[in-house]
Amino acid sequence: MKHLAEYRDGPKARRLAAEISRLVTQPWSIMEICGGQTHSIIRNGIDQLLPPEVELIHGPGCPVCVTPVETIDRALAIARLPEVTFCSFGDMLRVPGSRESLLDVKGSGGDVRMVYSPLDAVKLAAARPERQVVFLAIGFETTAPANAMAAKLAHDRGLKNFSLLVSHVRVPPAIRGIMTSPGCRVQAFLAAGHVCSVMGMTEYPPLAAEFEVPLVVTGFEPLDLLEGIRRAVAQLEAGRAECENAYSRVVTEQGNLSAQQVIAEVFEPCDRSWRGIGTIPDSGWRLAAAYRNLDAELRFGVGKLCADESPLCRSGEVLQGTLKPNQCPAFGRE
């Protein structure tokens, strides 16, 4: 806690905010990619410390927000099967599909369980060979290593009753999708430090150069975020567009090579649908050929199941920063 307290120092935060105010001479729009960053910004009132010229846009870095309805409907179709024990992290249980959620299926008698790790699901499959145990493997690069390890462990143990419903997404292709979308207002990015701690930073400098946007890797504490904003504003004011690491106590250029190795073994890149945005090329991972027998979509025949988004929902515009959340007709209703 002492280590964390160093990055939650109120007087230092106000000094950083004052420095940002001195730097800024015109309006700038900066997108923080990660939902964890957004949560910290709101919880700590960081947006209230900034000068009015600096607008923070909340990006598509929340797995719950970007998982499309069709993925939830596939999960529901599998979870309803009497022979299935469906495992998920708690944050996905309430996410609605077309008509209901995993929590609704559980309330109707389905065997839906909250787990804290994909390895818990592997252990359950080993203990209950008569059940088909399915784990909902969603999220960004941060959750991919653990999910890959679960797949590898089940594969190596020869567990025939374990599978994963995979809907992994990747940050760099999402940045490209945002920058090429009509009406994009983003002028700089705060990249997610935990993603870069896994994957490193090598994919980001080409994006900064191609789209001429500063890209600053930041952490999640107030001083981390304010320092990232300060660096982004300094670049914008100087007319520079570079990738900077403002989270060097955690992030290295190359990232976690062991995690990358297991991801590369178990998964392969694929196009992926994002809620409200549509399909972004090469923005996801699916199980590689050697692990395809663990693919729940194939095992239960739900891969072709499609679903339409709510006509009220404008989440794609919100996630790309062209619409504020409270401007969406579905805000607070669905």
Selection from 64, 60, 91, 52 nearest residue 191 by Cα:
60
pLDDT above 90 for 164: yes
Rounded to whole angstroms, the Cα distance separating 300 from 73 reads 13
pLDDT above 80 for 304: no
Per-residue pLDDT reduced to its tens digit, 151-163: 999 999 999 999 9
The DSSP output letter for 256 is: -
| Burial of 165: CB neighbours in 10 Å, binned 0-12, 13-18, 19+ | buried
Per-residue pLDDT reduced to its tens digit, 279-299: 999 999 999 999 999 999 999
| Burial of 306: CB neighbours in 10 Å, binned 0-12, 13-18, 19+ | exposed
Which residue stretches of 7-134 are H helix?
10-23, 35-43, 46-49, 63-66, 69-79, 102-107, 118-127
What residue ranges define each of the domains in the chain, with the CATH number in brackets?
64-170+255-304 (3.40.50.11740)
pLDDT above 80 for 327: no
Per-residue pLDDT reduced to its tens digit, 104-138: 999 999 999 999 999 999 999 999 999 999 999 99
What is the per-residue pLDDT for 225?
97
What is the per-residue pLDDT for 115?
98
What is the per-residue pLDDT for 60?
86
The DSSP output letter for 92 is: G
pLDDT band at 310 (very low <50, low <70, confident <90, very high): low
Q: How far is CA 71 from CA 15, 169, 229, 282, in A?
A: 45, 12, 34, 17
The mean per-residue pLDDT over the stretch 233-259 comes to: 97
What is the per-residue pLDDT for 13?
94
β-strand pairing of 111-114 with 54-61: unpaired
pTM: 0.90
Rounded to whole angstroms, the Cα distance separating 269 from 221 reads 31
Rounded to whole angstroms, the Cα distance separating 249 from 220 reads 12
- Chain-centroid distance of CA 65 in Å reads 8
pLDDT band at 320 (very low <50, low <70, confident <90, very high): low
Rounded to whole angstroms, the Cα distance separating 70 from 250 reads 35
The mean per-residue pLDDT over the stretch 82-96 comes to: 95
